[in-house]
Chain A
Amino acid sequence: MKKSLLQKSAPWLLLSAVLIVWQLVCSLFAISEFIFPSPVAIAQSLVEFAGPIALHAWRTFWVTMAGFALAVVVGVVLGMAIGSSPFLYSAAYPLMTAFNALPKAAFVPILVVWFGIGAGPAILTAFLISFFPIMVNIATGLATLEPEMEDVLRVLGARRMDVLLKVGLPRSMPYFFASLKVAITLAFVGTTVSEMTASNEGIGYLLVSAGSSMRMPLAFAGLVVIGAMAMTMYELFSVVEKRTTGWAHRGAR
């Protein structure tokens, strides 16, 4: 089933419509730029401060990627551990859920005490906020293995590792890639939150300093950049997901 052209361009049409309405509201009611900047004003400051914005965006990007990479490694390892052992699953799951419920912004001051101002707290906040969905999805993929399949292999003398490599991991790949899409957007949230209070660089820092000097168009420009980066990475992982685990999405072809 191929998507029609209209369906493909739908997000762009909606975006344009929102921007037009936004611009009209701002112009018609003559809303001050200090309160609510118009799309044109935001675009102007995007161009005007392109250099500094790019520097801050690059910082936020690599910090997010570092935190995300850490989250993938730790999430996969922990997910494999608790997914392949019912004992660990029941032991660790409630604690992990409780941990996930904590607001990650609350960790930033603690991380600053440990690692100082800079990239350290931002990487770790991005990591803390994004490893959970990855871990849960890997664990779910492994824990929902059909017992018959396991019997077929075990009777042949398969070791735990064989079952994990031949069946468990391939089977949890769709869950894994689905979780990457969620995790990457969360990682951007983590980085930005941390940069807002504990950094002199990055989009988070840009947002706070632009806000405190009443340069609202610049602050909004920062938000646009974050949104664009998160969207791009989301789409990237979407494509990777479709390429690698097509067998799990056969209905959508």
Chain B
Amino acid sequence: MTDTFVDFKNVFLAYDDGGDFAVEDITLSTRQGEFIAIVGPSGCGKSTFMKLATGLKAPTRGSVSIDGSPVTGPLKIVGMAFQAPTLLPWRTTLDNVLLPLEIVEPHRSRFRSNRAQYEAQALKLLKAVGLDGYAQQFPWQLSGGMQQRASICRALIHEPKMLLLDEPFGALDAFTREELWCILRDLQSAQRFNVILVTHDLREAAFLADTIYVMSRRPGRIVARKENPLPGPRELEVTYTEPFTALVHELREHIGRVRTS
């Protein structure tokens, strides 16, 4: 096993043959257990980047490797969560969280016989995000923030090596958002999975990520890479300090440049 986890080498992707590229010449690599954030103006190909990293799309040019092996198809070692919680309304919160185990091998074939054990695992995870007592509720009985927590539990239930988050907190109010930042921070520092967080909230990126990448407008390119100078895991208090503000300010300047160019 190498020390590099995600490895993009000169990756281009065009959705239709001969068309314009959605992302261009992306080169980046992350260490094992690193938390990276990708920020950029809307429509910059952030979601395309996610599809490449999960193997849902193959690059038109260049190569993508995850955990030392080239990506050829969908990657089971990945969990995903989106801005919309996409929970299934006919399943309880617990059953929603268990859904990936009914799909992914090797859990799939053992699901029936080991159900009790899996349920215990799911309940532990729900407890970690502050949802104990809500396992038997249906998603529509939960608030938006609680649904998003359940969605993150669903992404983590099969203990993926990499968590991909596409603006997961975009639809939440500011206080709930900060609460979920802390939950995500704690989960990540306990389990050390890799995270790729796609967001346009610069404070979110600066608070959570070890390394922040700024993408340009379509066709998306990486125009800046910034290591977080603040040691992690960070406390919410840090977001009111001078170095944090300076970091956000610097990122904002990069975004300003790509928006006007």
Contact B88 A170 (CB under 8 A): yes
Shortest Cβ distance from residue B120 to the other chain A in the assembled complex, whole angstroms:
21
- Contacts A146-B84, A155-B80: A166 and B99 contacting too (C-beta < 8 A)? yes
B140 contacts A151, C-beta separation under 8 Å? no
- Judging by beta carbons under 8 Å apart, are B89 and A156 in contact? no
* B140 contact from A152, A158, A247, Cβ within 8 A: A247
Could you tell me the distance in whole angstroms from the C-beta of A152 to the nearest C-beta in chain B?
5
Tell me if B84 and A148 are in contact (CB < 8 A). Answer: yes
Contact call A153/B90, Cβ cutoff below 8 A = no
When C-beta atoms are compared, the residue in chain A nearest to B154 turns out to be A152
A155 and B54 contact, CB distance less than 8 A: yes
Q: Is the CB of B104 within 8 A of A157?
A: yes
Return the chain A residue nearest B151 by Cβ.
Answer: A152
Give A140-198 interface residues, CB cut-off 8 Å to B: 146, 148-149, 151-158, 162, 166-167, 170-171, 173
Asked if B138 is at the interface of the complex by the 8 Å CB criterion, the answer is yes
Q: Which of B74-89 contact A (CB under 8 A)?
A: 74-76, 78, 80, 82, 84, 86, 88-89
* Chain A interface residues (CB < 8 Å from chain B): 146, 148-149, 151-158, 162, 166-167, 170-171, 173, 245, 247-248, 250
The 5 closest A-B pairs by CB, nearest first: A156-B104, A156-B103, A148-B82, A149-B86, A247-B89
Binding site for A on B (CB under 8 A): 51, 54-56, 74-76, 78, 80, 82, 84, 86, 88-90, 99-100, 102-105, 138, 140, 154-155, 158, 166
15 extra A-B contacts, CB within 8 A, seeds A148-B80, A148-B166, A156-B104: A148-B86, A149-B86, A152-B80, A152-B100, A152-B154, A154-B74, A155-B56, A156-B158, A157-B74, A166-B99, A166-B103, A167-B88, A170-B90, A173-B90, A247-B138
